[in-house]
Amino acid sequence: MLIKKSFFILLLILTTSSAYAGGLLTNTNQSVHFLRNPARDASTEIDAVYTNPAGLTYLSDGFHLSLTNQSAFQTRIITSTFAPFAANGGSATKEFKGEASAPVIPSFQFAYKKDRYVLSASFAVSGGGGKATFNHGLASFEAPISMIPLSLKSAGIPTSAYSVDEFMEGRQFIFGFQLNGTYKISDAFSGAAGLRLNIVNNSYLGHLRDIQINPTHPLLNPTGAMVSATTFFTSAGMTASAKATADKQLDCTQTGWGVTPVIGLNYHVGGLNIGAKYEFITPLNIQNNTKIDDTGLFADGVNTPNDIPAYLAVGAEYQLCKSWKVSGGYHHFFDSDAKMANDKQKYINGGVNEFLFGSEYKIDDMFLVSAGGQITRTGVTDAYQSDMSFSLNSYSIGFGGAIIVSPKMRLNIAYFLTNYDKWTKASANYNGTGLAGTDVFDRTNKVFGLGLDYRF
């Protein structure tokens, strides 16, 4: 039973972790503009379709279009120390690594402005993103299997080693289609309202197979050679153990959708611009579409809660002089109010907080450069953290620039890097085994972006 349960829980990392900037289930880097300066919450440029829709009234009259591609690469690294692991390779400490890559992440923003009115639309990967591959499983996957030699020893059957073939590949995307309306209330104030349609598309492929052990048994295995655990338990009449160690496969997709209401307000005076946006909570369930499920835990048609949390963003931008402006912002994600699988939202103190700052300098009529940073403070508790789903404090740095190709066209390029603080979690009952163990969680994240702005 422990082996089946761990196989199920392993999948949750792929439905609760994001490979992007933002909260636990929200991506805020939806254009290349964010990558080269993350403090975009008071933007009055085309990327404001997402970051500050009320600020779009400061665009010039006409059509505006921005196209972006991002390439994101992330690793999740869990260093686990658990004494029974030594029976598989000789070391009690193992490093489990998951690699997520998304070389093509397209997005666009579009706006049409006429006098005091703006109609805008956008498409982006608003949550999740990319494919994650765990070629050697995770500690929570392997811990129950590592207990087999100890269990056999306690039953009087000497056993000192085990091995297992573990693999999991998952893909998670939440595609966001947004439509806004913006109105300039006065010379200083503008307001906006919009809706975002979020479409979830996840898929998982995995297997747990070929569990081998080396029990020394006078009749069943007198030489103590490595043998199939399932075969040994079947021959020994241990039916439950034989079933638990049998090969298992999974082929499952998940789908769902939800709508996010968005409101915004912008204030502008002199060289100062202030923007605010609030996204309401999005109730969302994802449904299993299962082809193969040897675990018995992914029944076809079953729904799991996967709410997108409410999100508040406020920011300011100040024009120091004709060529130089600075900006700052604050984000709060109300993750503790969003329903998650297994009620994990109960282990979050309020939600994620982000603090952003940046600057942009126009070198001449053709070139500009920009840079900025983001400090993220996660609200999760120790009880939330596991190798299946963990959130870490971090700081990010983004930089890049733009080339004004013509009066109507601009090319943007940027690089965004995140550095995470490690989190150490010690447990007296490691993954339900009754023994002590420790996990150290870490990750890396790098994003490269290229985009084109065009007005006509």
Q: What is the pLDDT of residue 9?
A: 41
Torsion, Cα of 237, 239, 242, 248 (10° steps)? 160
> What are the distances in angstroms from CA 114 to CA 26, 60, 182, 416?
31, 8, 11, 34
What is the pTM (predicted TM-score) of this model?
0.89
Per-residue pLDDT tens over the stretch 384-400: 998 877 899 999 999 99
Average pLDDT, the chain: 91
- Per the DSSP assignment, residues forming a β-bridge with 198 are 176, 258
CATH architecture of 2-455: Beta Barrel (2.40)
Q: What is the pLDDT of residue 230?
A: 96
Q: How confident is the model at residue 13 (pLDDT cuts 50, 70, 90)?
A: very low
User: Where do we find the tokens 């009449």?
Assistant: 237
Q: What is the pLDDT of residue 23?
A: 59
Tokens of 140: 């929570």
Q: What is the pLDDT of residue 234?
A: 96
**Residue 5 in this model has a pLDDT that exceeds 50:** no
Where do the structural domains in the chain lie, given as residue ranges? Answer: 2-455
Q: What is the pLDDT of residue 38?
A: 97
Q: What is the pLDDT of residue 6?
A: 46
Q: What is the pLDDT of residue 342?
A: 78
Question: Quick one: how far is CA 144 from the chain centroid?
Answer: 27
Tokens of 428: 């007296």
Beta pairing, strands 189-213 & 162-184: antiparallel
**Residue 438 in this model has a pLDDT that exceeds 70:** yes
Torsion, Cα of 265, 268, 271, 275 (10° steps)? 0
Tokens of 68: 């972006």
Q: What is the mean pLDDT of residues 414-428?
A: 97
Beta strands in 135-241 (DSSP E): 162-184, 189-213, 227-228
**Residue 323 in this model has a pLDDT that exceeds 70:** yes
**Residue 7 in this model has a pLDDT that exceeds 60:** no
**CA–CA separation, 125 and 400 (whole Å):** 21
Q: What is the pLDDT of residue 2?
A: 43
**Residue 306 in this model has a pLDDT that exceeds 90:** no
**CA–CA separation, 181 and 114 (whole Å):** 12
Q: What is the largest CA-CA distance in the chain?
A: 91
Please report, rounded to a whole number, the percentage of residues in the chain having pLDDT higher than 90.
74
**Residue 284 in this model has a pLDDT that exceeds 70:** yes
Q: What is the pLDDT of residue 8?
A: 42
Q: How confident is the model at residue 134 (pLDDT cuts 50, 70, 90)?
A: confident
Q: What is the mean pLDDT of residues 22-48?
A: 89
Nearest to 131 by CA among 95, 105, 108: 105
**CA–CA separation, 356 and 370 (whole Å):** 14
Q: Provide the phi-psi class of 49: left if phi over 0, else alpha when psi is between -120 and 50, else beta.
A: alpha
234 CB neighbour count, 10 Å cutoff: 17
Amino acid residing at 403: I
